[in-house]
Structure 1
Amino acid sequence: MADTGSVDVSGVRLRTVEHHLDEILGAVPTPEPIELAVLDAQGLLCAELVTSERALPSFDQAGLDGYAVRSADVATATVETPVALHVVGESAAGSGDATAIGPGLAWKVAVGAMMPVGADVVVPAAWTDQGLARVAVYAALAPGSYVRRIGDDVAPGDVAVQVGTPIGPAQISLLAAVGRERVAVRPRPRIAVLCAGDELVDVGRIAGPGQQVDVNSYALAAAARDAGAEAYRAGIMPNDRRRMVELLEGQMLRSDVVLIAGTFANGGPDLLQEALAELGGLAFTQVAMHPGPVHAFGRLGPEGVPVICVPGEPVAALVAFEVFVRPAIRLMLGKRQLFRRTVQAVSAEQLLSPLGYRQYLHGQVMRHPDGGYVVEPIGDGDQAMLARMARANCLIVVDEDVTEVAAGGLVTVMPMLLGG
């Protein structure tokens, strides 16, 4: 289906998923790099070119426990005819004493210890009789064997970490080794999560007739954190327009993006829409997707903070997060891969989908014994089935122009891996 920004479904113009997503991605900010302690930078992208001012290692050192010797002295050594050398000293890691050996001599060394001048190999202890005053060597070694030379790992001026590199344990190790206590990174975007609805009550309260526990502020904050954001759960919005405006203004001051879940009125403006209008207004629209077609997006306040509104049904809210919000967070983080990787899978059951709507169904995908993937839908697409959603490990995506997928047919599947 060609994306013209909207699609006609039974005489109603709906915005396409791609158009709505493009509008959000085109408007979210790119937070300025910040400097963090190296350990606090874990999981973020490096925002500077880190070069080393020192050599790694900074001195010739033993690569393992053994004996530092001259390769020429052990050139003829074999198990049958070992070469005997006099052990004239011993060094442990951390010893800075300058040492040297001549022909026919050996120096016992621990891994990381400074190599004595004159030695060009380390004979592993297992290849000797491990003698104390005199050692028998059972194998010949090429010059440089088991020796870490100055600058073998990193030389002064070498790039240690590139711009855009994800900082993990290996990068933290290297940054520490080259002497960096702090590093510039792309910061985690700050996401404020709010929920609107007269029917909502806080977790811990017993919902009365017609009421529902607020699960969206918890679920969406957790999803934002899983995507890499710093999420603030602001909870249920007050049932008062003035207080709503004040709350929104406060959240926009502290956030890069404000995310609101709610059941929005179709017949005219509701309290939330009136509050949003006071701050500049958002355009509510129907997006050609199921579940949850009603969405809104805009930039509000003096700083033009992006505000994303998603449906209030908990299942629809998390689907909308996956489709629209998660890619925006990853864009702000500087990630190259904005979207979850998808696979083609064989559907274990018949799937039905409304014409003109892109349907997202929760399912369980697994490897097929004969290769490839097979997916089984969980439930029938009912938006309210939280327990079914909790058992799912993927979203099944049925395109707008497909109304039926036969059992055994191929479908696109989006595996839902935590942090993936």
Structure 2
Amino acid sequence: MRERKEFRRLATVEEVSLLIERHYSYFPEVEEVPIEKALGRVLAEDVLSEVDVPSFDRSMYDGYALRAEDTYGADEENPVTLKIIGTSEAGKPFQGFVSHGQAVEVATGAVIPPGANAVVLVERTESRGDTLLVFKSVPPGKNIQGAGTDVAAGETVLQSGTLLGPREIGLLAAIGRTRVKVLKKPVVAVFSTGNELVTPGNPLDYGKIYDINSYTISTSILEDGGDPRILGILPDDFDSILEGIREALEWADLVLISGSTSAGAGDVVYKVIERAGKPGVLVHGVAMKPGKPFILGLVRDKFIIGLPGYPTSALITYRKFVSPLIRRMAGLPTLKLTPIRAKIGRRVRSPLGRRNFLPVAVISDAEGGALAFPIPTGSEAISTLSRADGYIEIPENVEYLEEGEEVLVFPFQEGLRPADLGFIGSHCPGADLLLSMLRKKGEFRIVRANVGSLG
């Protein structure tokens, strides 16, 4: 009979976070990438412009470049007459000089020719051959964007640590940069363990299930700025898991392994981490629900984290402990989504002594407020999180939440709004058709939970 280990002491949620903070030693490397591949990356250098932007005086509108003093006194009754001597188009500057009594037609973005110091809008003029009538006076500098007024040569345009989005990449292009130094994404090795697991796309034999966690965890890592490497499924075998972890430690910055983390006879991850190196296991078991079998280990100054095998447990513990860690490694701020105030839709019982992260769906009530309904499926079901809008945290010392009690819902995504309609009950093809028709009618937000017969 294989050895079974009981959880001797459950760490608190706060203790796990403190241990991660205490043992954190990762220092990111820097790499250079083309700006077209820099979206979502974190800048690793201060960027100084080597050029003025714009590098020349340019017209802000279609009109005529001229000398401002030539227009003084012009109005609708007494227009000023000037001679049109040429045209300046964007990318094709006028090659001459604007003297007293002359004007050059200019397009938006075109170079202001030498001698001119203002632009009058085309709407305030009338052209008759090479004669221009100006019906409005303009002061010097009017409708001209001067060289270097957007960005001056030598100016710091972006600072190290900036998250690069479309606007920042556009600014890099504006100053002529084609490549930029960014923080290298932390490389995260992702394993799933379990003799029952099968890679999606393969036949599913009796007693087998598809690997879920490799994909939910790896896509979560992508969202958090990491570089996930899915390494497949390992059997619940000590030597196989040990070999996989040791190989991953050679090149990965962080190792995540889901499954085989509990205290059962077939759960060996905690033993493997102890064998892999020192200090080994820092935490085995957390006072939370779901997520009790969470493991935190450290080998060669690299974290090895064991996530529970149940999909909801894996994602909740990932979000609570791993997401902040990876985002810090990637140079990103911890994701803090705005909580929603709601009232709990039914009475809830919570286990004393464990922090309960309860997945809920959020639905509008008749008064325009929000109701939070617990998702009826458990942590073993991936549909629990796919149907949940967020979760509520129930403290360790609270056993009951009464119906109507106010709670804070921590959303899984920013911008959450309560659903217009909630549907909870047995699966019904007729209900599927009705809900599909409602969605096509407008911007209805509908949540549903198929719970089977409760009678």
Query: Shorter-chain-normalised TM-score: which range?
Result: 0.7 to 0.9
Out of 204, 214, 218, the position equivalent to 2:215 is: 218
**Residues 347 and 406 of structure 1 are in contact (CA less than 8 Å); yes or no, is this contact kept in structure 2?**
no
Question: Structure 1 residue 64 and structure 2 residue 97: aligned?
Answer: no
One-letter code aligned to 1:328: L
Structure 1 residues 386 and 44: CA distance shift in structure 2, 3 A: same
Residue in structure 2 matched with residue 40 of structure 1 by the alignment: 37
Residue in structure 2 matched with residue 4 of structure 1 by the alignment: none
Of 152-161 and 69-78, the range deviating more from structure 2: 69-78
Q: Aligned to 1:165, what secondary structure does the other structure show? A: coil
Out of 100, 122, 145, the position equivalent to 2:142 is: 145
**What is the distance in 2 between the residues matched to 1:27 and 1:419?**
34
When normalised by structure 2's length, the TM-score is 0.82
Of 354-363 and 134-143, the range deviating more from structure 2: 134-143
The CA deviation at 1:393 is 2.5
Question: Structure 1 residue 413 and structure 2 residue 412: aligned?
Answer: no
**What is the distance in 2 between the residues matched to 1:330 and 1:386?**
24
* 5+ residue gaps, structure 2: 1-6, 417-455
Structure 1 residues 124 and 378: CA distance shift in structure 2, 3 A: farther
Structure 1 residues 98 and 316: CA distance shift in structure 2, 3 A: same
**Residues 121 and 145 of structure 1 are in contact (CA less than 8 Å); yes or no, is this contact kept in structure 2?**
yes
Residue in structure 2 matched with residue 352 of structure 1 by the alignment: 349
**What is the distance in 1 between the residues matched to 2:21 and 2:366?**
39
Matches within 5 A, 1:12-411: 13-28=9-24, 29-96=26-93, 98-129=95-126, 133-266=130-263, 270-280=267-277, 281-300=280-299, 303-335=300-332, 337-350=333-346, 351-365=348-362, 374-380=370-376, 382-411=378-407
Of 386-395 and 189-198, the range deviating more from structure 2: 386-395
The CA deviation at 1:219 is 0.8
* 5+ residue gaps, structure 1: 1-10
**What is the distance in 1 between the residues matched to 2:148 and 2:115?**
19
The CA deviation at 1:115 is 0.6
Q: Deviations over 1:211-237 (max 9, x none)?
A: 321101111111111222111111211
**What is the distance in 2 between the residues matched to 1:157 and 1:382?**
59
**What is the distance in 2 between the residues matched to 1:107 and 1:88?**
6
**What is the distance in 2 between the residues matched to 1:208 and 1:284?**
35
Of 184-193 and 28-37, the range deviating more from structure 2: 28-37
**Residues 262 and 309 of structure 1 are in contact (CA less than 8 Å); yes or no, is this contact kept in structure 2?**
yes
Q: Deviations over 1:291-318 (max 9, x none)?
A: 1211111222xx4321111110011101
**Residues 299 and 307 of structure 1 are in contact (CA less than 8 Å); yes or no, is this contact kept in structure 2?**
yes
The CA deviation at 1:359 is 1.4
The CA deviation at 1:145 is 2.0
**Residues 242 and 276 of structure 2 are in contact (CA less than 8 Å); yes or no, is this contact kept in structure 1?**
yes
Q: Deviations over 1:244-285 (max 9, x none)?
A: 333222222221111111033415684434433331242452
**What is the distance in 1 between the residues matched to 2:208 and 2:415?**
32
The CA deviation at 1:205 is 3.2
**Residues 85 and 104 of structure 2 are in contact (CA less than 8 Å); yes or no, is this contact kept in structure 1?**
yes
Q: Aligned to 2:190, what secondary structure does the other structure show? A: strand
One-letter code aligned to 2:47: V
The CA deviation at 1:367 is 7.3
Structure 1 residues 25 and 39: CA distance shift in structure 2, 3 A: farther
One-letter code aligned to 1:49: D
Structure 1 residues 294 and 272: CA distance shift in structure 2, 3 A: closer
One-letter code aligned to 1:327: P
Q: Aligned to 1:254, what secondary structure does the other structure show? A: coil
**Residues 264 and 294 of structure 1 are in contact (CA less than 8 Å); yes or no, is this contact kept in structure 2?**
yes
Structure 1 residues 366 and 142: CA distance shift in structure 2, 3 A: farther
Q: Aligned to 2:323, what secondary structure does the other structure show? A: helix
Structure 1 residues 286 and 396: CA distance shift in structure 2, 3 A: same
Structure 1 residues 253 and 99: CA distance shift in structure 2, 3 A: farther
**Residues 66 and 102 of structure 2 are in contact (CA less than 8 Å); yes or no, is this contact kept in structure 1?**
yes
Of 341-350 and 39-48, the range deviating more from structure 2: 341-350
**What is the distance in 2 between the residues matched to 1:33 and 1:26?**
24
**Residues 359 and 400 of structure 1 are in contact (CA less than 8 Å); yes or no, is this contact kept in structure 2?**
yes
One-letter code aligned to 1:205: N
When normalised by structure 1's length, the TM-score is 0.88
One-letter code aligned to 2:360: G
The CA deviation at 1:239 is 4.6
One-letter code aligned to 1:48: E
Of 159-168 and 275-284, the range deviating more from structure 2: 275-284
> Comparing both chains, which one has the higher relative contact order based on Cα–Cα distances under 8 Å and sequence gaps of 6 or more?
1
Structure 1 residues 41 and 130: CA distance shift in structure 2, 3 A: farther
**Residues 221 and 228 of structure 2 are in contact (CA less than 8 Å); yes or no, is this contact kept in structure 1?**
yes
